Amino acid sequence: MSSSCTSSVSKGCFVFKPSLKKKKVSFSTADYFNKGQDTDSENSRIRFETYQGLWRQMKKETEQLQEDLNKKLFDGLIEFFRQSHSEFQETKNEWSSRMRSSEIPTAALVLGVNVTDHDVTFKSLSDVLQESVTPYVASLHSKECPGIGQMVQKLLVQLMGQSVNVDYDEEDDEQVQVTRKRTHCSMASLSGWYQSVTKKEKSLTPSKKRATSTSRYWHSPPVVVIIKDLESFSATVLQDFIIIISQYIQALPLILVFGIATSPMIIHRLLSHSVCSLLCIELFQSLSCTEHLATVVDKLLLTTQFPFKLSGKVLQVLIGIFLYHDFSVHNFIKGLQLSLVEHFHSQPLSVLCCSLRDARRRIQIFSHADCESLRQLPSFMRYVESQAPEKQVQLLTCDNAVKEVTEKLLEDLHIYHENYIPVLRCLHSFTSILPKYPLGKQIRELHCTCMEKNVWETEEYASGFQLLRMLAKEELVSALKKSLEFLKISSRKQLSDAAEKMEEFLAKFQSPESLDSGQVDQARNEEEEDISPQKSLQKTDLYHLQKTLLELKDSRRSRKPSRFEALRHEVVDFIDSLVRKYLVPPEMQTLYEVMYFSAAATLRRHLNAAPRIALHTALNNPYSYLKNDALKSVAGSISHSAPDICIAYKLHLECGRLINLYDWLEAFATVVTAADGPEEESEPLEQVDEVIHARFIRAVSELELLGFVKATKQKTDHVARLTWGGC
């Protein structure tokens, strides 16, 4: 064979030996859910399926709620788009005669400071627009548009890069095809592309329009540009962009949407007066995040639709994160999902956190271990202790007796929730109209108070009911009507009787025979007549004035209350009796652990991140995260089997402000090679194994990336330590 045939180095024979490694086993979500649990696998499977079904329902409810809240806002935006687009359609042929031809329709959408929720709103808005208004919707983010060139390029890529449901002829394509290279990214290219697309759409027959699904859009659909975070955009870039697109408004129906988190005044702070004059701005306000949260709590927690409940402390953790961190309803829902996962994962008896019918069926197949778990619940133990001695023995020894009692107790727990929620709403309808809101303005505040303690034993409750005894007739009747609506919804007989009682109160208030509106004024006039005009004009000292006031006070106390006052006291006493009967804290209910998640510390640890503590724990004690027995070590010692970064970190804790890399490397090599034999004298740097040297360099680089050390110019062979002490 000639040398020319064998000169190529690309030719050769390669042999690949079969791998002896075992095939990687993939795990499902259920496997991770059940991992590390000592309970029955069947029980774990049922709990996981129950969690999935329950969260699926809750997620569907939140999505429907979000859609309902956005509907009014989106309807207003679409109406604004329709008016702006109709003006463009009417005047595009005689545009030069218009005085405001260069104005760009702009919707200033104030969404609030909950920035993390804005993406969901803009995604829903884009879907609504692309469904029935226009296929040409672009969303621009500040981090993607540092300059005007990148902003225009991003706009063109989003608009011209999407498929258009119009059939083109090859000849027309050659004439109107736009090259989307960086050098040709301009608004002129976009304008030419839009005109060609709309021209081709008009030439289609109605049958072809139906086939291509273009009939659902508006005629010559507008181009909507959504600027998500207006405050984060550069003022110069934004002004240049508006000036450029204003030159093409005659041929291109552009509509801008500004996403604003703070105040509409930010538009005038970012844009000059000349640029603002190019915009025709209309303001739109979304529902506040606090009102959105109140609706979520009302639909997901204050309902009997979902058996899963949060304890008062857990709910306060989630609300505290919402109020003091991000105002994000989306994050609140994520926290609720985490609580749901933790409850079903950590509580074996959460298998009963379902509908009452399913719970009864599952109780019948309980094993002896499940019955023992029931007996160990604190609330069940408290229930057993309250029974007669012979009943206690039966519950502690007979599984069938436990199953029978559990069915009854679960039914009582469901009845408790059916009574608790309507009465809670009744109490809130009365206390929410009081000055300074002694029991909270939002119903979630009252709910947290009722779950933690007996609400009628608090000072706020006593002061609130003192104010209720002084309510005017109109306010009292209004609160009674709201309470009556809540009680009528319930199907429980006890609350039906309470509703009938409230109807009697309303009838008495509306009856002229039982109430004389002038009785109170007449009593006041009689008291005022006791002080004659001459006596009121006489000079007096502080002692006589105090004596006169005390006499008036005693006369009021001795005066017989009017019929209105007696009826008002009767109504307040009736509300107080409902509260004491039905608003007992859930912890007093037997088997509340089945439905209530109360591990507030676990939830706080997951959601309230402490990065410094977590990093120190992971690097100083890797066993806490890796759970490898080889990583266990005595406090103060350094294990050679620990990860390299952990060894380097623990060694750097023993150093001062400046760390000598030579000494650090020798100490690292000593620890790493400790398993090879007895300790020997330190070797010179040149004799350190290259692999150990490389491992040390990588560990130091990782510590530098985490911010523990940095290079210093004081000494070339040293690094500076950036942290001090432990955590």
pLDDT of residue 172: 41
CB neighbour list of residue 218: distance below 8 Å, 6 or more residues apart: 82, 85, 133, 134
Nearest to 162 by CA among 125, 186, 192, 193: 193
Give pairs for 355-358: CB < 8 Å, separation 24+: 355/307, 356/410, 356/411, 356/414
What is the dihedral angle through the alpha carbons of 606, 612, 618, 624, rounded to the nearest 10 degrees?
-50
The rounded mean pLDDT for the chain is: 82
Predicted confidence (pLDDT) at residue 381 exceeds the cutoff of 90: yes
Task: Assign 719 to helix, strand or coil.
Answer: strand
Pairing of strands 254-260, 104-110: parallel
Pairing of strands 709-711, 718-721: antiparallel
Predicted confidence (pLDDT) at residue 568 exceeds the cutoff of 50: yes
pTM: 0.79
pLDDT of residue 9: 39
pLDDT of residue 94: 43
pLDDT of residue 301: 94
Instruction: Tell me which of 490-499, 534-543, 697-706 is least confident.
Output: 534-543
| Enclosing H/E stretch for 710 | strand 709-711
pLDDT in tens, 194-249: 888 887 766 655 555 454 555 567 777 899 999 999 999 999 999 999 999 998 88
Higher pLDDT among residues 524 and 159, named by residue? 159
Task: Find the angle CA(632)-CA(633)-CA(638) to the nearest 5 degrees.
Answer: 125
**Burial group, residue 520, by CB count within 10 angstroms (0-12, 13-18, 19+):** middle
Q: Is the dihedral of CA 511, 517, 522, 523 positive or negative?
A: positive
pLDDT in tens, 332-367: 999 999 999 999 999 999 999 999 999 999 999 999
326 close to 116: Cβ distance less than 8 angstroms: yes
**Burial group, residue 233, by CB count within 10 angstroms (0-12, 13-18, 19+):** buried
Predicted confidence (pLDDT) at residue 692 exceeds the cutoff of 50: yes
Distances (CA, A) of 37 to 33, 34, 76, 296: 9, 6, 52, 33
Q: Which amino acid is at 407?
A: E
Predicted confidence (pLDDT) at residue 2 exceeds the cutoff of 50: no
pLDDT of residue 713: 83
Q: What is the Cα gyration radius of the chain?
A: 37
Predicted confidence (pLDDT) at residue 33 exceeds the cutoff of 90: no
Task: Assign 711 to helix, strand or coil.
Answer: strand
pLDDT in tens, 384-420: 999 999 999 999 999 999 999 999 999 999 999 999 9
Q: pLDDT grade, residue 38 (50/70/90)? A: low
Pairing of strands 658-660, 254-260: unpaired
The distance of Cα 701 from the centroid of its chain, to the nearest Å, equals 37
Nearest to 205 by CA among 171, 176, 175, 167: 167
- Residue at token pair 């109107």: 176
For the segment 157-167, the average pLDDT, to the nearest whole number, is 59
Q: pLDDT grade, residue 48 (50/70/90)? A: very high
For the segment 500-520, the average pLDDT, to the nearest whole number, is 73
Predicted confidence (pLDDT) at residue 725 exceeds the cutoff of 60: no
Q: pLDDT grade, residue 539 (50/70/90)? A: low
What is the Cα–Cα distance from 514 to 502, expressed in whole angstroms? Answer: 15
| Enclosing H/E stretch for 590 | none
Predicted confidence (pLDDT) at residue 523 exceeds the cutoff of 50: no
pLDDT of residue 85: 76
Return the structure tokens found at 256. 């801008």
pLDDT of residue 520: 47
Nearest to 423 by CA among 336, 497, 474: 497
What is the Cα–Cα distance from 86 to 703, expressed in whole angstroms? Answer: 61
pLDDT in tens, 449-476: 999 999 999 999 999 999 999 889 899 9
Task: Assign 238 to helix, strand or coil.
Answer: helix
pLDDT of residue 640: 83
pLDDT in tens, 636-677: 678 888 899 999 999 998 888 899 998 999 999 988 887 554
46 close to 345: Cβ distance less than 8 angstroms: no
pLDDT in tens, 105-127: 999 999 998 888 999 999 999 99
Half-sphere CA count of 6, side-chain side, radius 13 A: 3
Higher pLDDT among residues 625 and 698, named by residue? 698
222 close to 87: Cβ distance less than 8 angstroms: no
Task: Find the angle CA(266)-CA(269)-CA(270) to the nearest 5 degrees.
Answer: 90
Return the structure tokens found at 1. 């064979």
**pLDDT > 70: percent of the chain:** 80
For the segment 180-188, the average pLDDT, to the nearest whole number, is 60
Predicted confidence (pLDDT) at residue 41 exceeds the cutoff of 80: no
Predicted confidence (pLDDT) at residue 716 exceeds the cutoff of 90: no
Q: pLDDT grade, residue 553 (50/70/90)? A: low
654 close to 724: Cβ distance less than 8 angstroms: no
The distance of Cα 553 from the centroid of its chain, to the nearest Å, equals 53
Return the structure tokens found at 659. 């760390």
